[in-house]
Amino acid sequence: MAKTPSDKLHRLIRSLSPAEKRYFRIYIRGKTERASKYLQLFDLMAAQEVFNEDNLRTGIYKNQPPGGKKYSELKSYLYNLILKSLQAFDEQHSVEFKLNELLQGVSALYKRGLYADCRELLLKAAKIARQYEDFSALLEIIRWEKQLAYTRMDVDFLHKNLEQLQFQEEQALQHLRNTSEYQKAFFQVYTTNFKREAGNRNAGRMAPLHDLIGQNEAFNDPDRAASHKARVLFYRTLNIYYYATGQYEQFYESGQKLMFLLESQPHFLKQNLADYIATLSNLILSCGLLQRYREVRIYLEKLHFLTPITEDDRRKIHRQYYSNLFALCSFTGEFEEARREMARCQEEAERMSAQGHETASFYFQYCTICFGCRDFNGALDYLNMWLSQPRSVEREDLQSLARILSLILHFEMGNLMLLESLTRSATRFMQKKNRYQELERRFIHFIHDLMKAPGQQELRAGFQKVKEDLPKMSGYQELLQTFDLEAWLDSKIKGQTFAATVQEKWEKQGPRNN
């Protein structure tokens, strides 16, 4: 039997939901006389937050060393038992498993010559397959209908129904081709210069997107998408395309249409929430970009009160809700509210046993929240935690901002002696990554000037000068979406806190807050 690494088994057990753990304990009863050992190892691993091999061996075998491959076999069998229990658990909830079960039943009955019973199961399967647009299953059902008629030499059935069956078969094939066309376009748009350098909208990067969607007749009319699943892909693809190309009004409108479409077929949402979670998250983003802040709150609540189907849903809802809430609070200057929600976010993450990258994805936002609360030490701690994470393609655009924010934090903390070496380090990093552009270069020169300023009057003059210069530079607007550098500069010019300046800026927007 192939070896199962202990950490692999530990990751699987720790990923299970409470319901899945309960189901496994029920599932294993009576399966084997060694069940007690399996459950013992299962419970020990489930309780281990940090994997420890020695503690597991001691817990299972006490002071007696396991003979031969005994422990290795125990792990392998346990891993396979868990997978089987998960399959059985999913069969209770999944349409795909239900259809597969019905078709396997057809096969078993067919081998025993119970053809009338086969047809009964096929009728049930066809009803489910049509309701959930499982066109692959429909093709298999049609194949069985023809096979049954042939086996029974039911020429009369074929004479009456063959043309209709062939029409249904061709229709199912067309639906599969149609859905596949939109699925292909979705993944092309998703991967074509979308994740990396998300804020970079130069003509060279936009051209492939325009070729994929702007020139694609399949996206001229939603009626070209022939099924609910295809229409979902139609709007999801357009939604991403409009965001990537900076067409924010269309980004918002396509997001609303997609949300209404998904809500119009609630039985699909009972099977898969992933698209709906992504849609609400993008709709929140579009409302923020268009300053529809009242709607941001509405869609945040809708997202927050979703009932997850899977643990992955739970993690996604958690991540998207809090990341968007923190962004809103940071924009409005409600940093104290964000700090309170930050504590709740961390508590929820612990209960979910969230993976490391899930927690790390918040570090940058935690940094800006602490900054807004004037907790500069806390902000620097979170920024350093973020910087210590493995580089993510998704967040490469934040690398330069992180260095700029580090300089700001040390300036606020009065660490002027450190700033000289930090500016040199930041310059080397940006040059190495080919990110030492005009904005970054001008800001680092500005920090050098601040260190030489003899008094408050000269400092304020320096802040005023850089406030006038930076907005003219490429990348400045993208930077403001993550950290309000403009508000920080204003706060130093006016001699007030960063939070107060952000709130003042927010209040001046007036009717746009609605």
Number of compact structural domains in the chain = 3
Asked, for residue 155, whether it belongs to a domain, the answer is yes
Q: 85 and 109, same structural domain?
A: no
Q: 84 and 113, same structural domain?
A: no
Look-up of token digits 């996206």: 219
User: Which of 125, 147, 181 delimits the end of a domain?
Assistant: 181
User: CB-based burial of residue 155 (10 Å sphere; 0-12 exposed, 13-18 middle, 19+ buried)?
Assistant: exposed
Quote the pTM value: 0.79
First-to-final CA distance of the chain: 64
CA torsion through residues 174, 179, 184, 186, sign: positive
Asked, for residue 270, whether it belongs to a domain, the answer is no
Domain extent, residue 505, equals 392-514
Asked, for residue 373, whether it belongs to a domain, the answer is no
The per-residue pLDDT for 116 is 92
User: Which of 91, 115, 138 delimits the end of a domain?
Assistant: 91
Amino acid at 77: Y
Look-up of token digits 């924009």: 331
Structure tokens at 503: 């709130």
Q: 82 and 165, same structural domain?
A: no
How far is 20 from 9, CA to CA, in rounded Å?
Answer: 15
The per-residue pLDDT for 196 is 47
Asked, for residue 151, whether it belongs to a domain, the answer is yes
Q: 99 and 87, same structural domain?
A: no
Largest CA distance in the chain: 101
Asked, for residue 265, whether it belongs to a domain, the answer is no
Q: 146 and 39, same structural domain?
A: no
How far is 509 from 288, CA to CA, in rounded Å?
Answer: 13
C-alpha 49: how far from its chain's center? 24
Q: 116 and 78, same structural domain?
A: no
How far is 493 from 459, CA to CA, in rounded Å?
Answer: 8
What is residue 398's DSSP assignment?
Answer: G
Can you give the pLDDT of all 514 residues of the chain as single tens digits? Answer: 455 566 788 888 888 888 888 888 888 876 655 557 788 888 888 888 777 777 777 777 776 665 546 778 888 888 999 999 988 888 777 899 899 999 999 999 999 999 999 999 999 999 999 999 999 999 999 999 999 999 988 888 888 989 999 999 999 999 999 999 999 999 988 887 555 444 455 555 677 778 778 778 889 899 999 999 999 999 999 999 999 888 999 999 999 999 999 999 999 999 999 999 999 999 999 998 898 988 999 999 999 999 998 878 988 999 999 999 999 999 899 999 999 999 999 888 877 754 444 566 789 899 999 999 999 999 999 999 888 876 654 455 677 788 889 999 999 998 888 888 888 888 888 878 777 777 788 888 888 888 877 778 888 888 888 888 877 776 666 666 778 888 999 999 999 999 999 999 888 875 455 5
How far is 460 from 489, CA to CA, in rounded Å?
Answer: 9
Q: 396 and 500, same structural domain?
A: yes
Q: Are 72 and 39 in contact (CB under 8 A)?
A: no
Asked, for residue 419, whether it belongs to a domain, the answer is yes
* Ramachandran bin of 153, using left for φ above 0, alpha for ψ from -120 to 50, beta for the remaining angles: left
How far is 64 from 143, CA to CA, in rounded Å?
Answer: 58
Asked, for residue 411, whether it belongs to a domain, the answer is yes
Q: 510 and 400, same structural domain?
A: yes
Q: Are 281 and 303 in contact (CB under 8 A)?
A: yes
Kindly provide the residue ranges of all beta strands, DSSP E only, lying in 55-199, ordered along the sequence: none
DSSP 196-211: TTTT---HHHHHHHII
Q: 27 and 64, same structural domain?
A: yes
User: Which of 91, 109, 139 delimits the end of a domain?
Assistant: 91
Q: 83 and 100, same structural domain?
A: no
Asked, for residue 258, whether it belongs to a domain, the answer is no
How far is 184 from 443, CA to CA, in rounded Å?
Answer: 42
What is residue 391's DSSP assignment?
Answer: P
How far is 306 from 276, CA to CA, in rounded Å?
Answer: 10
Q: Minimal CA–CA distance to 268: which of 134, 136, 171, 137?
A: 134
Q: 159 and 44, same structural domain?
A: no
Q: 454 and 405, same structural domain?
A: yes
Which distant-in-sequence residues (6+ apart) come within 8 Å of 257 by Cβ?
235
Look-up of token digits 């952000």: 502
